[in-house]
Structure 1
Amino acid sequence: MKNETDFICKTIAKNIKKIREDQKLSMDQLASISGVSKSMIGQIERAETNSSISTLWKLASGLHVPFTALIEQSKEHVMRVDKESVNIVKNEDGLFRMYPYFPIDENRNFEILYIELDPGACSHSEPHATGTEEYIIVFGSTLELTIGEEIHEIHSGDAIYFTANEPHSYRNKTKETLTMINIISYA
Structure 2
Amino acid sequence: MALEPAPPLATIAAALRRERDRAGISLTELARRAGIAKSTLSQLESGVGNPSVETLWALGVALGVPFSRLVEPPPAAVRVIRAGEGPRVRSEHADFTATLLSAGSAHARRDVYVMELEPGAVRVAEPHTPRSIEHIVVAAGRMRVGPESDLVDLGPGDYATFPGDAPHRYEALAPGTFAVLVMEHP
Normalising by the smaller structure, the TM-score range is 0.5 to 0.7
User: Residues 83 and 105 (structure 1 numbering): CA distance in 2 closer, same or farther, change over 3 Å?
Assistant: farther
Instruction: Note the aligned Cα RMSD (angstroms).
Output: 2.1
Any residues of structure 2 matched to 1:1-187 within 5 Å, and which? 76=77, 78-92=78-92, 95-106=95-106, 108-174=108-174, 176-187=175-186
CA contact (8 A) 2:94 2:123 kept: no
- Size of the aligned set, in residue pairs, is 112
**Whole-angstrom distance in 2 between the partners of 1:93 and 1:129:** 21
- Alignment partners' CA distance in 2, 1:141 and 1:178: 4
CA contact (8 A) 2:93 2:123 kept: no
Q: Partner amino acid for 2:183?
A: I
Where do 5+ consecutive residues of structure 2 fail to align? 1-74
TM-superposed CA distance for 1:85, in Å, is 4.1
TM-score, with structure 2 as normaliser:
0.54
C-alpha displacement of 1:75: 5.7
Change (3 A) 1:144 1:85: closer
Task: Give me the TM-score of the superposition, normalised by structure 1.
Answer: 0.53
Q: SS at the partner of 1:149?
A: helix
CA drift of 1:178 comes to 0.3
How far apart in 2 are the matches of 1:158 and 1:84?
22
Q: Distance in 2 between matches of 1:93 and 1:148?
A: 17
- Kindly provide the CA deviation profile for residues 126-180 of structure 1, in whole angstroms up to 9, marking residues without a partner as x: 1122221111000221111141312211111110111212110000132x21000
CA gap of 1:108–1:154, structure 2 versus 1, over 3 A, is: same
Can you list the C-alpha shifts for 1:37-82, whole angstroms capped at 9, x where unaligned? xxxxxxxxxxxxxxxxxxxxxxxxxxxxxxxxxxxxx962x43222
5+ residue gaps, structure 1, are 1-73
Distance 1:79 1:107, change over 3 A: farther
**Which segments of structure 1 move beyond 4 Å, counting only runs of 4 or more?**
none
- Percent of matched pairs sharing the same residue: 19
Of the two, which has the highest radius of gyration? 1
Q: Structure 1 140/121 Cα, relative in aligned 2: closer, same or farther at 3 Å?
A: farther
